[in-house]
Amino acid sequence: MEAVYKTPETLIDTPTHYCPGCGHGIIHRLIAEIIDEKDIKGQTIGIAPVGCAVLAYNYMDIDMCEAAHGRPPAVATGIKRVHPDKIIFSYQGDGDLAAIGIAEIIHTANRGENITVIFVNNAVYGMTNGQMAPTTLINQKTLTTPQGRNEQSDGAPLRICELLSVIDGSRFIARASVTSPQNIIQTKQLIEKGFNTQIQKKGFSLIEVLSPCPVYWRMSSVESIKFIDEEMIKAFPLGIFKDWEGRN
Ligand SMILES: Cc1ncc(C[n+]2csc(CCOP(=O)(O)OP(=O)(O)O)c2C)c(N)n1
Ligand code: SF4
């Protein structure tokens, strides 16, 4: 009998450390599927962040490297320059990429480094107990904004795709979500396009994925999905913001 659904070869079959309803595991699987389908397992190197995905290397059967808070784009740059024919991706949360790592991501995009960034936006610092992130929504309650994020004192959610798409060096910038089978398929297509951008030596690509953190949103998994579909996408609309093939 032909198997129609199986674990990707690149995904290590191991108990998960992620919470129930977390989006990281789905995104790991998509990356593993793409690596299998493109047959690039031996050529791909990932950079793990400091957030909940700090252990991403336990799930993917590829070479991976760990970088300090916010520094994956800098480490990815170094590895890519030494190994220009390898496919290099960084995997980063919003605390990692949009707070302490904001300088790294802007300058990496501006230099047009030929790498792919997978940016997992769950609007909080998951690993360190749900503090406010640059991407926290206005009025969203977090550990450090118990009354809700206040625009006057805390600023508005930082829109990374919009910000990076005006930088000359960026070539493919898109935002997706993992709230439905259709959105998951779309996320996979966009991540694959990011990898293709790099393989065709077109330059910097970033795919932002809106992802649930039920634990620190203090919601059920179902409520978290609704929160993304009904609230988060108002601040972070899905779509392609820049495309070297000319669609944007
Ligand atoms: C240099 C450094 N500073 C601070 C920390 C503490 N720290 C670890 S994870 C984290 C937040 C991560 O949040 P995010 O990037 O949004 O990822 P998530 O856990 O939500 O997936 C922080 C502040 C650290 N590990 N290293
Ligand atoms: S704390 Fe949030 S981001 Fe971290 S594993 Fe749990 S659900 Fe996922």
Among 24, 196, 191, 199, smallest CA distance to 117 is for: 191
CA-only gyration radius of the chain, Å: 17
Structure confidence at residue 4 (pLDDT): 84
Contacts of 5 (CB under 8 A, 6+ apart): none
Taking CA atoms only, the protein residue closest to ligand 1 atom 9 is 51
Taking CA atoms only, the protein residue closest to ligand 1 atom 5 is 69
Cβ 50 under 6 angstroms from ligand 1: yes
Taking CA atoms only, the protein residue closest to ligand 2 atom 2 is 213
**pLDDT tens for residues 41-50?**
999 999 999 9
Per-residue pLDDT of the chain (248 residues), as tens digits, is: 788 888 999 999 999 999 999 999 999 999 999 999 999 999 999 999 999 999 999 999 999 999 999 999 999 999 999 999 999 999 999 999 999 999 999 999 999 999 999 999 999 999 999 999 999 999 999 999 999 999 999 999 999 999 999 999 999 999 999 999 999 999 999 999 999 999 999 999 999 999 999 999 999 999 999 999 999 999 999 999 999 998 66
CATH assignment of 23-242, among 1.10.10.1100, 3.30.70.20, 3.40.50.2000, 3.40.50.970: 3.40.50.970
Structure confidence at residue 231 (pLDDT): 98
Domain spans in the chain, listed from the N-terminal domain onward = 23-242
Ligand lying nearest the CA atom of residue 26: 2
Cβ 68 under 6 angstroms from ligand 1: yes
Residues with CB under 6 A from ligand 2: 18-19, 22, 24, 52, 122, 126-127, 213-216
Taking CA atoms only, the protein residue closest to ligand 1 atom 24 is 69
In order of 54, 87, 102, 193, the CA distances from 243 in angstroms are 30, 19, 22, 10
Contacts of 177 (CB under 8 A, 6+ apart): 183, 187, 209, 210, 211, 228, 229, 232, 233, 238
- What values do phi and psi take at 110, rounded to 5? -65, -30
